[in-house]
Structure 1
């Protein structure tokens, strides 16, 4: 198949492209038009300004499917979250319906239901529009909602690994207690390959998780154990100081730590892996094996 993969140079997108190409597909990687040079097979895709279907139609010529793996953690002037998560994807989906490119794989996120964060609300808006087009039989989408995605090259994964190396660590209490169900980035890629191959008829929302949930504190401790280190001393940051640190992060656009991050990391992010495991044909990688299998 000829596949347009948006966000192809990101952590998840890069892994998806490699897996899809190994499966024999021709992947046209969407990249920011701000790049000075394009590599062979790359397509400029502007998720800041391309918010009409007409802007996307030329990029869909000859395509059989679209995988959208574009995402940002927080709102910035350079990459406004409303445009990146909602407006541009909606325009892309409308263009797909117009061009007859029915197969869409949308990489969303687990834990967005009921969340008031702009990250969640913009992701949900794109999902709702995609589901509306599916209800009209104009598209056949699969929406993947992964829990914490772990792998080499991921900013959050690198943060977790750095924290796991510290003999003494200070964590916000809400983050320590939040439950997650980490998923290997390679398992997520395998699911996308299945959805564009043997599971082409699978549609709807799919929760992508590892086989077992645990608290974030226990996850960091497991990573430390996998690295061969003894247990660390863990200190709990009080809620007032946690909120203050997040507000300070709000004032620094480059910082990954902010009020939105606190709201997301301080909430449970778990799901039911049954459909995901059927796509894989096996259980996902257990969190206790992530360093050996995904940190490479």
Structure 2
């Protein structure tokens, strides 16, 4: 079958191209800038009349519309990309009697009130009104190793503290992109009949907070904490990031998350002739462990070595190299004099040395946390009593920031119990 896939350079479109080509279909890749022989130039900001599609559809048996955007801009609006251009395409398909049309919509478009959902629903409804043989596919949140949202959630899962919007109780049933593309392939040969809409979802419904913890375990990472973020604060952040290119948090995505993304999995199981994959299997454990071990084999020892050297060198230089009178002068500015200054000097040097030694011989989350607390305490005292050091060109205190970043990484990746 000759299949035109519009949006072939997108996450879902590219996966569909790969799947259908492996199955023996002739795939014509609809892209904005055609450079290869199997690519066809389509522009959803330009091709908004049915007649503009006539020449593009010559020799095509089936059309899959996988074009979509999450954020509008001056060049690409929901109305153009999700509604007007697809309607023109569907009209042309109907007039030219294309054998099958598949519209990749979104779960929630059937009743969602966001501009994203409304624009998708308008095209879905129009396609259903035509006599052309068609399917409307409404996938849940789609996971794939190359997907932007999947990468974003993996990043959140890797953090030692998981930020949970409004407690993270939103219900989700993520679907793996391989299951989605397999379902679409089945629909190319499945007669729609009266049922022209199918929800494609994964095999397990979870809360948002559960999804992050499952991804973290799949990545081979250790313990973590969860922190609920008030809904109003997420709303403010979404408003501020609403027009930022590449932002995963916008007004629309926040409202979509609040509504959840789940449905009955029976239709997906019927299409696939098996239960859809559970998100616990999305990240291949062996691959994740190998990647984590490969990175940890050099990254952890490098960070610990550098950190240990900084602590030990600070102790040695304080006791043996730096003029002690100048050290006590600094302590005086921090309101430490006489015996208190002497005790503070030797105690600080001892702590620095012990921290440096423990970093190499007995690392652990408690050690990283203790070091971070000490660094923040030092920095706050200096900022209050000697603020001019903050803007010193050598940045002696500001260099604490990368040290804190190292501690955050070590704390996040520590797998000790």
TM-score, L = length of structure 2? 0.66
Match in the other structure for 1:113: 110
Question: Does the CA-based 8 Å contact 2:242-2:251 persist in structure 1?
Answer: yes
Q: How far apart, in 2, do the equivalents of 1:277 and 1:271 lie?
A: 12
Query: Is 1:141 aligned with 2:134?
Result: yes
Unaligned runs of at least 5 residues, structure 2:
289-417
Q: How far apart, in 2, do the equivalents of 1:90 and 1:21 lie?
A: 26
1:291 match: secondary structure: coil
Correspondent of 1:182 among 169, 174, 180: 174
Question: Does the CA-based 8 Å contact 2:160-2:225 persist in structure 1?
Answer: yes
Match in the other structure for 1:52: 49
Identify which of structures 1 and 2 has the higher relative contact order when contacts are C-alpha pairs closer than 8 Å and 6+ apart. Answer: 1
Match in the other structure for 2:185: 193
Correspondent of 1:131 among 128, 131, 134: 128
Question: Does the CA-based 8 Å contact 1:221-1:231 persist in structure 2?
Answer: no
Query: Is 1:18 aligned with 2:18?
Result: yes
1:71 match: secondary structure: coil
Q: How far apart, in 2, do the equivalents of 1:187 and 1:168 lie?
A: 31
> After superposition, what is the alpha-carbon deviation per residue over 1:165-201, rounded to whole angstroms, capped at 9, x for unaligned?
1111223216x1111101010000101111123x245
Distance 1:167 1:123, change over 3 A: same
2:12 match: secondary structure: helix
Query: Is 1:163 aligned with 2:150?
Result: no
Question: Does the CA-based 8 Å contact 2:71-2:243 persist in structure 1?
Answer: no
> After superposition, what is the alpha-carbon deviation per residue over 1:15-63, rounded to whole angstroms, capped at 9, x for unaligned?
100110111110000001xx3x511210001111111101111110011
1:189 match: secondary structure: helix
Looking at CA atoms only, which structure, 1 or 2, has the larger radius of gyration? 2
Query: Is 1:38 aligned with 2:32?
Result: no
TM-score, L = length of structure 1? 0.92
Q: CA offset at residue 217 of structure 1?
A: 1.0
Q: CA offset at residue 255 of structure 1?
A: 2.4
1:177 match: secondary structure: coil
Q: How far apart, in 2, do the equivalents of 1:38 and 1:65 lie?
A: 22
Runs of 4+ in 1 over 6 A off after TM superposition: none
Match in the other structure for 1:229: 221
Q: How far apart, in 2, do the equivalents of 1:188 and 1:75 lie?
A: 25
Query: Is 1:2 aligned with 2:8?
Result: no
Larger proportion of helix:
2
Query: Is 1:289 aligned with 2:281?
Result: yes
Query: Is 1:100 aligned with 2:93?
Result: no
> After superposition, what is the alpha-carbon deviation per residue over 1:103-140, rounded to whole angstroms, capped at 9, x for unaligned?
1111111012322111000000000000000xxxx211
Match in the other structure for 1:218: 210
Question: Does the CA-based 8 Å contact 1:194-1:200 persist in structure 2?
Answer: no
Q: How far apart, in 2, do the equivalents of 1:22 and 1:217 lie?
A: 36
Q: How many residues align?
A: 286
Match in the other structure for 1:29: 29
Distance 1:149 1:251, change over 3 A: closer
Q: CA offset at residue 250 of structure 1?
A: 2.0
Unaligned runs of at least 5 residues, structure 1:
none
2:238 match: secondary structure: helix
- Structure 1 stretch 110-119 or stretch 62-71: which is displaced more? 110-119
Q: How far apart, in 2, do the equivalents of 1:210 and 1:252 lie?
A: 30
